Amino acid sequence: MLPLEGITVVSLEQAVAAPFATRQLADLGARVIKVERPGVGDFARNYDKTVKGMASHFVWINRSKESLALDLKQEEAREVLHKLLEEADVFLHNLAPGAVDRLGFSAAELKATYPKLIICSISGYGTFGPYTNKKAYDLLIQCEAGLVSVTGTEDTPSKAGISIADIAAGMYAYTGVLTAIISRYKTGKGAIIEVSMLEALAEWMGYPLYYSAYGENEPPRTGASHATIYPYGPFKAGDGKMVFMGIQNEREWGEFCETVLSNPELASDPLFNSNSQRVVNKTALKNIIEDVFQAMDSEQVIERLELSRIASARLNTMNELVDHPQLAARNRWREVDSPVGKLKALIPPVTSDEVDTVMNPIPEVGEHTNSILSELGFSEEQIIKLTT
């Protein structure tokens, strides 16, 4: 039996945060009914056309769901949603603040009507406070949470290359729902859960936050290097490729000098004999390291680092990640069906020898509308009225 088999999730979801949360639940066997606008559906379906005509974001986070197309501005459609919630375990949404309230599905109303229901909302800034109604795209939350201030080079602040604020919020919604499910088994009561993108990402900013709040300076932007450890980050090899490495302690520093640089005396040089000294004098040390690396190609540098047990990595492109030998060796790729045929998909990172992850198809807009409405007891005539 799958861990969440028998759990039904009804979701008014769009974009990334909520769909990311519900896909994790679907992976574990929950039935996820995704309520979409008739015709156009989740607007993330049209972000791009790169996956055989489908949007890459949508393909990533919408497998294993059922799509129910409803125009919730119509009273009959709202009645359908209520029928679903009568039997549902979880109601999750990330509509704009106040949108579900105006439809008649506020948390307070739902709690009174369905006391065992777990109600989870995801928003940019939360349900109260001066920023409540402020638009909250991922880039803007990265800025407000300070992530952009510590990311990029000294001259150029940069956002993360993925929707990290959405993903953070989605993960906290996912774990919050799981916690509420466990709690309900003990208490018999549902829960109201609220997750804001700002608060989720602010939690992830813990290290630079404490560094700044209790230190004298904010951490500088250092590109792919580390603000407080050196050597740490990218170094150019003789073939022009970048090798990334990180030295965490004095034992590793000594081994690096002896085996990788073939210069054991450097380890005790007063300019470099502690991490703080290496940070202060990192420009000089970078020149020394790259002078040695220029005589080797990147593979030879990595071989020496591996021999010394110094942490290292290649800078992979996305296509190189697809072909990563470790993912292949661990059999992490599967195929899922979709409206455009079979597509590659990574199985979730949390795996168990007792649970086989659900990897069901990605739905078309409204693909399951008729079957869900029939299941709820609607007649053929009523279904035609609701769907035309």
Beta bridge partners of 123: 196
Mapped onto helix, strand or coil, the DSSP state of residue 15 is coil
Mapped onto helix, strand or coil, the DSSP state of residue 159 is coil
Q: Of 274, 311, 362, whose CA–CA distance to 62 is shortest? A: 362
Residue 323: per-residue pLDDT: 92
Residue 356: per-residue pLDDT: 83
Q: Which of these is catalytic: 82, 93, 226, 368?
A: 226
Query: Measured on CA atoms in the order 73, 34, 14, 168, is the torsion positive or negative?
Result: positive
Spatial separation of the C-alpha atoms in residues 104 and 72, rounded to whole Å: 10
Spatial separation of the C-alpha atoms in residues 225 and 80, rounded to whole Å: 54
- Give per-residue burial for 131-147: e unless 16+ CB within 10 Å, then b: beeeebebebbbebbbb
Spatial separation of the C-alpha atoms in residues 34 and 10, rounded to whole Å: 6
Angle at 314 between CA 209 and CA 142, to 5 degrees: 30
- Give per-residue burial for 170-180: e unless 16+ CB within 10 Å, then b: bbbbbebbbeb
Residue 350: per-residue pLDDT: 84
Q: Which CATH superfamily is domain 232-314 in?
A: formyl-coa transferase, domain 3 (3.30.1540.10)
State the amino acid at position 2 in one-letter form: L
Spatial separation of the C-alpha atoms in residues 296 and 320, rounded to whole Å: 22
Residues for the chain: how many in total? 388
In the DSSP assignment, the letter for residue 127 is: S
What's the pLDDT tens digit per position in 54-88? 999 999 999 999 999 999 999 999 999 999 999 99
State the amino acid at position 382 in one-letter form: Q
Q: Is 93 marked active-site?
A: no
Residue 343: per-residue pLDDT: 95
Residue 52: per-residue pLDDT: 95
Q: Are 188 and 116 in contact (CB under 8 A)?
A: yes
Residue 48: per-residue pLDDT: 94
Beta bridge partners of 32: 9, 65
Residues of the chain with pLDDT under 50: none
Residue 314: per-residue pLDDT: 86
Spatial separation of the C-alpha atoms in residues 101 and 110, rounded to whole Å: 10
Kindly indicate whether the domain formed by 8-204+325-387 is annotated with CATH number 3.40.50.10540: yes
Q: Is 377 exposed, middle or buried (0-12, 13-18, 19+ CB in 10 A)?
A: exposed
- Name the residue ranges covered by the structural domains of the chain: 8-204+325-387, 232-314
HSE of 376 in the Cβ direction (CA atoms, 13 Å)? 22
Q: Are 17 and 88 in contact (CB under 8 A)?
A: no
Residue 284: per-residue pLDDT: 96
Spatial separation of the C-alpha atoms in residues 336 and 317, rounded to whole Å: 23
Beta bridge partners of 126: none
The answer to whether the bond into 220 is cis (omega within 30° of 0) is no
Residue 387: per-residue pLDDT: 85
The helix (H) or strand (E) run that includes residue 194 is strand 191-196
